[in-house]
Amino acid sequence: TMAKLAVCAAVLLLLLVAPSETSPPRFCCTRYQETQVPVKMLKSYRIQDDMGHCNIKAVVFKTKRNKDLCGNPEEEWVQKAMELIPRYDTKRVKNVDQCFPKAKMMSSDVFFCQQPKHV
């Protein structure tokens, strides 16, 4: 029975790891959006590094229609949009005092906190 338990544990471990390896690749920016996009059309963003198969540093905006747009992080409109909309990798908490470094209120009692940036 100890051998069966070990086999079951191994199979369970494989099942937990397999979906992460087969998940579809994330959208990758290869060039920047040429025109400024109104902030009211955007709902969130994430930062893309120029490592791996993505060849440029970019801010990947998710529109309210679930489209991905690529912004140049050096452009002023991109920086302003980043201040006004939440990041993809935000953490949901019930108390704004748990937030670091700042919080954005999304409803009357739930806050989304930006994670500290790793250098």
Domains in the chain: how many in total? 2
pLDDT for the residue numbered 65: 95
Residue 50 pLDDT more than 80? yes
Ranking 25-34, 69-78, 110-119 by mean pLDDT, the lowest is: 110-119
Residue in the block written with tokens 């920016």: 29
pLDDT for the residue numbered 111: 37
pLDDT band at 76 (very low <50, low <70, confident <90, very high): very high
Query: Residue 93 corresponds to which tokens in the numbers above?
Result: 């908490």
- Answer yes or no: do 75 and 35 share one domain: yes
Nearest C-alpha neighbor of 68 from the set 27, 24, 16, 104: 27
- Answer yes or no: do 69 and 59 share one domain: yes
pLDDT for the residue numbered 113: 42
**CA gap 109, 112 in Å, rounded:** 10
Residue 13 pLDDT more than 70? no
- Answer yes or no: do 37 and 82 share one domain: yes
Terminal Cα distance for the chain, rounded = 49
Average pLDDT over every residue of 90-98: 45
